[in-house]
Amino acid sequence: METTDFGRRELLKLGLTTGTLLAATGLVLPEEAWAKGAGSIIAHLNGAIDKENRAIWAYRTASGTGKLSDPVLRTALAFMNQHKEHAAALSAAVKNLKGHPAQMRAKYDLSAFNPDLNDEKGILTLALKLESDAVKAYYKALGMLGNPGLRASAAGIFADEAMHVAILRNVLGLDPVPVAFVTDPTVWSLS
């Protein structure tokens, strides 16, 4: 198969799980990506893998600070393991396309999230910002997915990420559900 002949059907042949993960990571492949073929799709998948790896790194780093109470540490490790599962599935999709998956970097820049890692509250606030950013991406993906099966899967993942946000907000003493419709929790008050 020529790379330029690669289309949506070929990606769907990779399975619903791969499509679900594309939606879950907020990765919506623009029309240009499909037109350019497998190489462009691999680049988009690797971008999603990089985001998953960034989350893994952030949770691993936070869990190694010694500043987290046991319940918070357990939650951080659970979230980290979920991101590992996402990265592994996305990596398998890249390999199925005969590509090379993005690798974990030694360090990631989280400065855009204004992290304060001095105490547990600061670490939880960073986690909340990362998870809120994911919810925002999933919400955007839901509006762009045409396949009902993929949309349903993405909606389930969107709901799960929204629960993560609610849990983190509750632990931080914030209103866990401050609005009736979740669209963009990155704009919700953190105080």
pTM equals 0.71
- List the structure tokens of 135: 């919810």
CA 176/CA 54 separation, integer angstroms: 25
CA 99/CA 102 separation, integer angstroms: 9
pLDDT, position 115: 87
CA 100/CA 28 separation, integer angstroms: 20
Does some domain include residue 89?
yes
Number of structural domains the chain divides into: 1
Does some domain include residue 15?
yes
Are 135 and 167 in contact, with CB atoms under 8 Å apart?
A: no
Does some domain include residue 187?
no
Of 118, 121, 117, 138, the C-alpha closest to 186 is 138
Does some domain include residue 188?
no
Does some domain include residue 124?
yes
Of 141, 117, 130, 140, the C-alpha closest to 64 is 117
pLDDT, position 4: 33
pLDDT (tens, 9 = 90+) of the chain, 191 residues, equals 333 333 444 444 444 344 444 444 444 444 444 444 556 667 767 777 787 788 899 989 999 999 999 999 999 999 899 888 777 877 877 787 789 999 999 999 999 999 888 999 999 999 999 888 878 876 876 666 554 644 565 576 677 778 889 999 999 999 999 999 998 999 999 98
**Which residues constitute the domain of residue 144?**
3-179
CA 171/CA 71 separation, integer angstroms: 10
Does some domain include residue 184?
no
Q: Tell me the CATH number at 33.
A: 1.20.1260.10
Does some domain include residue 189?
no
Does some domain include residue 185?
no
